[in-house]
Structure 1
Amino acid sequence: PHTENDQGMSTHQWPGIPSKEFKGHLEVNYSEAQLSGYRWYDKHGVAPAYPFGYGLTYGSFSYSDLRVSARTITFTVSRETSRGCDTPQVYLAYPGASTDPAAPSKVLRFFQKVCNAGQTIVTHTFTDR
C-alpha cells in the first residue's frame, strides 16, 4: 500500500501569462533589487498565476491559537486527516514599507514543514538580522 503523502510546493512565483501569449521561453530579469519574486507581485498588487508555496497535499489542516509577541510567534497546526504535510509560512510587514517604493510590503521570515499526526505547536523566535 502507498503510505507516503504525495505533495509538492512551488519555490517560485509564476506570472499569469495567457497561454496564447506565452512563447515557450520566459526571460527572467532581476532588476527589481529587493522586489524580486513574490515581493514584486505583492508591492504592485498583481495576482500571480501560482504564488510562492502554491502546491498540493492530500491532507487537511487547520490553524489555531495564534500568539504573537515582539520576537516570537506561536501557533498550532492540526492535521485533520490520516496523512499529509503542510508548510506554514510567516511573513513580516514593516512600518513605512508601503510608502517606500523600493521596500517590499512584506518579507517571508519563516517556514516549516509539518507532517506530524494530530497537533503540532510551531514556535519561531526571530533573531536580529
Structure 2
Amino acid sequence: MADLAIVVAADGSSEGSDRSDLSMSPAACVTLVCQDLPIDQERMINAVTAANPNNVVVLDTGGPVRMPWLKNAAAVLLPWFGGIEHGRSLARIIYGADEPGGRLPQTLPRDEAQHPFAAAAYPGVNGVATYAEKLEVGYRWYDAQDVKPLFPFGFGLGYTTFSFSDLQVTREGDGAVVRLRVRNTGDRAGAAVPQVYVSSPDAAGEPPRQLKGFTKIRLKPGASRVVTIRLDRRAFSQWSVARHGWIVTPGSYGILIGSSSRDLPLRDAVRMG
C-alpha cells in the first residue's frame, strides 16, 4: 500500500449554468455554457479513501459539494478553482512548506435536503423570485433555524492550533474597540483568523449574530499577540425602511469572538444607541 493517497476531484460551473444538486459534476465549460462529463467522482473518492486511510482529498469546486465520503477522509483541502499555479501550491501545502491558512467564506451544508428551496424562491414563479429568507442569508439562516451544517462559515484548519483569551470590549464614540490575546499553541508557525460577531437586541429584528470584523495574523510556535479590532457605527446599525437610512436600536449588543460562526468561546456585551 502507498504511504499516502491523494485524490483530486473537480466540479464544473459557470455564471450561466446553475447546478441542479451538490454532487461533484465535472464539466467542459465554453463561455457561459457547461456540459457535464460522465465521470462519477464521488465513487472515485469513496474508492480511494476506503483503500488507504492515510489520504488527502482535494476539491476543485466553485461552490459547496456534498461529502458522503467524509468519514473516511484524513484531510480535505478546498482550494476552489486554483488557477495556473494550482499544482505547485498544492504540493507546497501537502508537503508542509506552506500553511493552509484560509477560512470558509460560506457555509457548507450536509446535503441538498438541509437547505431546500421553494419554487417561489428559486427559480421563481412567472419570472419573479421571492426572497422569503429576508435577512437570514447564508450562515445567518443556519443560526436562526438552529441547523448544524457540515462545516460552518469561517471554519478552517491548518498545521497548528490557536487559543483566544483576555477579551476586552470598550465603547468608543458610536462604535467599540475589541481587544483579545491570540496565542499559537502548536509546534509550528501559522495564521490565525479571529472573527468578531455582533448580536443585536431583539427589538432590532436582526439575525442571531453577524460577522462585523476580523483580522489575520501569523504567529511563531508559542508566541502570542494582543489583537485590536475596531467596530464602527455600522457594525451596530440596522436599515430602517421608514427612515430610509441606518439606525442604531438602543440596547445591549453581544460581542462574540472565535474561529468560526459556530466556535465563539469569548463573549462580552456593550450598550449602544
Give TM-score, length-normalised by structure 1: 0.79
Q: CA deviation at 1:126?
A: 1.3
Higher relative contact order, chain-length normalized (CA < 8 Å, sep 6+) = 1
CA distance in 2, matches of 1:12, 1:77: 24
Match of 1:124 in 2: 229
Ranges in structure 1 where 5+ consecutive residues have no aligned partner: none
CA distance in 2, matches of 1:68, 1:87: 18
Report sequence identity in percent.
32
Ranges in structure 2 where 5+ consecutive residues have no aligned partner: 1-94, 123-129, 235-273
Instruction: Name the amino acid aligned to 1:79.
Output: N
Higher-helix-fraction structure:
2
Equivalent positions of 1:30-109 (< 5 A) are: 31=131, 32-70=133-171, 71-80=176-185, 81-96=187-202, 100=205, 103-109=206-212
Higher-strand-fraction structure:
2
Q: How many residues align?
A: 121
CA distance in 2, matches of 1:96, 1:11: 26
Structure possessing the higher radius of gyration over alpha carbons: 2
CA distance in 2, matches of 1:46, 1:78: 31
CA distance in 2, matches of 1:111, 1:125: 9
Q: Is the CA contact (8 Å cut-off) linking 1:93 and 1:107 kept in structure 2?
A: yes
CA distance in 1, matches of 2:201, 2:165: 26
CA distance in 1, matches of 2:183, 2:103: 19
Give TM-score, length-normalised by structure 2: 0.40
Alpha-carbon RMSD across the aligned residues, in angstroms, is 2.6
Q: Is the CA contact (8 Å cut-off) linking 2:215 and 2:229 kept in structure 1?
A: no
Instruction: Name the amino acid aligned to 1:10.
Output: L
CA distance in 2, matches of 1:48, 1:65: 29
Q: CA deviation at 1:116?
A: 2.5
1:56 aligned counterpart, secondary structure: coil
Q: Is the CA contact (8 Å cut-off) linking 1:57 and 1:86 kept in structure 2?
A: no
Deviations 1:103-127 (A, max 9, x none): 2111100111121221121111211
Q: Is the CA contact (8 Å cut-off) linking 1:12 and 1:51 kept in structure 2?
A: yes
